[in-house]
Chains A and B, each alone.
Chain A
Amino acid sequence: MNATGEPRPVLKSPGHSGRRRDAFVSLCSGLPGGPTAVVAALLVLMPVVLPSRTMATEILIFAMATLACNLLLGYGGLLSFGQAIFFGSGAYLSSLVMMHGGFGLLPALLTAAVAGAILAALVGALAIRRTGIYFVMMTLAFNQTAYFIAYTLSDWTGGDNGLLDVPRPPLTLFGVTLADLSDATAYYVFTAVLFFLIFIAVRKVIASPFGSTLIAVRENEARAGALGYDTRNFKITAFALSGAVTAPAGALYAMLLNFAPLENIQLSMSENIVIMTVIGGTGSLLGSLLGAGSWVIISDILAEIWPRWLILTGGALILIVLYLPGGLWGGVESLMRRFRGGGTPHAPDGIPNNDGSTAQPME
């Protein structure tokens, strides 16, 4: 009986990761300076083009969370509906240490990162005891657990009302005040620098032997295990990294709003992060920025005209999964390729499956 949720033979595409890397390299070579330069240019352009600095900051914060989700889903093949655990705890923890512990900006962010990594390693270690759909269901159940914990500890988290009066301390290093961040532009610049550093770091991680092994584990866990890799450790490490990026994003969000709402740790936040990741495109880091950006911009425009805009998101998610598995970024890639007329035609990368294979888009 095929009812255990364990791997069943799926549409298999051997050697996919190699092609993914090739496609990525060939695309980057077409852009002056590669993705890093593209991101740097976008970071400079965003506050100029977008209606507000706050919106630009929000995009970067969600792009961080999306990057971290992408690291798990796009590279590790791990679909986690528990990202809000780290996002929400990061927001709460950093706010609490600033409000009650007298922590400065950087120590508070560091606290969030460390706590996020530990929490994510714990959640990951428990959830990967099962594979396939059980894994996904457990991440979702753990998110509910975290939500109820936050709800129960209302003395600390403010429960339904959220944590109010979260400060946004100035940027200090070794007691020297470097910048006052109360201004929206200053806070944007700070977030942008942080985002840029994280983007480079995640790229380095993916290009490292660790990243390649993670992709190998995604593609065929049994084979990677047979080669002597401790696949459990790789998955837990991926989780820890993901938590270490997501939690500071939550912290930055709390400082942006001066408020840490209960929604930060709700399942719907996890869903939103996953949706941004998938819509932007899994397996490409620029896709994460694109996914978060389009989400924040569209929600901002539509929320005023039509509060039920999430219907469109649901529809878009279904359409993208069915017809554009490479996400928006995959679409951009194939458009650019067609526009340039060169290069071999290349199917967009599929959304990786938990079984460790990559599905092809539907014909």
Chain B
Amino acid sequence: MIIKQLSVFLENRAGRLTELTGILADNDINISAFSIADTTDFGILRVITGKPELAEKVLKEQGFAVKITDVIGMIMPNKPGALHHALQILTDNGISIEYMYAFANGEGRATAVIRTDTPQKAIEVLQLHKMELLKTGDVYQL
């Protein structure tokens, strides 16, 4: 249930993101979902991909600071109150979220990628409440 997310340090420099996406494209690596956390001087790119290890290898070879981070993917119905319901479960169980990003994948479903310090506990709690979680293999189908 743990999803391997690729995190990349990016300087705020024109064209830098394009260089990165070019490297991924050249290596036939698909981006299933991503978000960028930005500050004045730098950004952190977070990518969900079916081939995180390959992406890590090729980006490191090109000199990027790269890290694989454990995240979980929570699948919810794409309707009002669904996200609130899920977050309430996490809050009630004392699980804090470092960051998250979400996207709708059509067919009335949405996925939230969640980074927490206690991913195993989050998985147990969510499963207990019958929440659907993204499996590693599912990443390809996103």
Bound pair: A and B? no
Residues of B near any A CB (own CB < 8 A): none
